[in-house]
Amino acid sequence: MGESEKIDSGQKLVYHILLRPEVYSDLKESFQWYSDQHEILGMEFIEQIESCFERIKSNPYSYQLIKKNLRRAIVRKFPFGIFYQIENNEIIIFAIFHLSRLPGNVKRRR
């Protein structure tokens, strides 16, 4: 279907987010680090990640194309990127990395 988000009947395509197993480790590690800095920061981090997931689901093709079909969404209030690709109606999340990390780390996960 290319870059279109509409199906023939005019209904909007519903996307589902799938997280690769490594993403859970990314989230746990980052949540713990922010929680150690201040008790509220860990929860704020998770809330911003969830908010970014919703924005991605609403318009997955609007985020920066990094390489071929790999895209990156920037998390608000935190220096993190969510790296994903779109396959049919699935958004596959490969990594949630601090933006200072090397981009090669994402490529090795795909």
For the domain spanning 16-109, the CATH number is 3.30.2310.20
Half-sphere exposure (CA, 13 Å, Cβ side) for 55?
14
Measure the CA–CA gap between 84 and 56, rounded to whole angstroms.
Answer: 9
48-61 pLDDT tens trace: 999 999 999 999 99
pTM greater than the 0.85 cutoff: no
Above 70 in pLDDT, residue 2? Answer: no
Measure the CA–CA gap between 1 and 53, rounded to whole angstroms.
Answer: 22
